[in-house]
Amino acid sequence: MRRFSFLLLCSLYSVFLAAQQTDFDAVVQPIDVKARDFSEYLVQLAWMNHPESAAAQETVKIEKEKALNTRKEWMRDVQTSFNLNEGNLKRSGSDGNVFFPRYNFGLNLNLYNIVSQKTKNDIAKREVQLAGHKVNGQKLALRAETLQRYAKFKLAKELLKTRTLVEQEVYANYILIKQLYNTDEKTFEEYTLASGSYYEAQEARIQAQTELEIARFTLEEIIGLKWDQVQHPAKEE
């Protein structure tokens, strides 16, 4: 009974483990498939436009072509020959004698290369698989980097909104304090404090604006398009 329970547990574990294998078409959805959401659309753009993904895919094609050529290499090690015994050719004044063998056939084989062909084919096949693994690794890395840069871009936008509102509020307070200071209803220290707060808020807004531009530049770098060129119904300006 214990043995049966153990085997059942192992079988279930194998099933669960197999169900959790990575679907790399879900990591980066194929270009001809509608993206699940806007962030997945950006991942598609990055995969379609980034040079490293193109290089990885091209490597797979090259390895497949090399593997195909490798499978044909055995043909170079098989050589045939044929000739007709010259003594059988009629010449003027000849008595028409026939010499044997009348025909000569030859077959040359490089046995070492033929025997080792299977190993060569296996190596070529593994090279194709290795190139495919690199493509999948590139998908994982590019997806993570794209989503991280998009998250930083969205955060920078929200920070700019917040710091712009703070600047507006601090500026309104600064104007009020300035007016009251001009009518001697506020002290110079209070006016200076309000003025300093406004300049700090202004500096924070400018810093946030710069960080947003940098985040946009890094996102544009990986998707291969300027943000203004990205067209999608769910895009937020």
The 3-state DSSP class for residue 83 equals: strand
Q: Which has the higher per-residue pLDDT, 19 or 55?
A: 55
Q: What is the reported pLDDT for 123?
A: 87
Q: pLDDT-derived band of residue 159, with 50, 70 and 90 as boundaries?
A: very high
Going from the C-alpha of 141 to that of each of 60, 129, 137, 150, 168, the distances in angstroms are: 18, 18, 6, 14, 41
Q: Strand pairing of 78-84 and 103-109? A: antiparallel
Whether 236 is in a domain gets the answer: no
Whether 103 is in a domain gets the answer: no
With b for 16 or more beta-carbon neighbours within 10 A and e for fewer, the 166-175 pattern comes to bbeebeeebe
Domain range enclosing 139: 24-84+111-229
Q: What is the reported pLDDT for 66?
A: 84
Distant-in-sequence contacts of 212-217, Cβ < 8 A, 24+ apart: 212/153, 212/156, 212/157, 212/159, 212/160, 214/156, 215/149, 215/152, 215/153, 215/155, 215/156, 216/153, 216/156
Length of the chain counted residue by residue: 237
Whether 74 is in a domain gets the answer: yes
Element containing residue 109 per DSSP (H, E): strand 103-109
Q: pLDDT-derived band of residue 151, with 50, 70 and 90 as boundaries?
A: very high
**Helices 117-182 and 38-49, packing angle to 10 deg:** 130
The 3-state DSSP class for residue 81 equals: strand
Q: What CATH number should be reported for the domain holding residue 161?
A: 1.20.1600.10
Identify residue 173 by its one-letter amino acid code: N
Whether 104 is in a domain gets the answer: no
Percent above pLDDT 70 for the chain: 73
Q: Domain count of the chain?
A: 1
Whether 18 is in a domain gets the answer: no
Residues 6+ apart with CB under 8 A from 169: none
Q: What is the reported pLDDT for 115?
A: 67
pLDDT digit string, tens, across residues 103-142: 666 666 665 666 677 888 888 889 999 999 999 999 999 9
Cis, bond preceding 51 (omega within 30 deg of 0): no
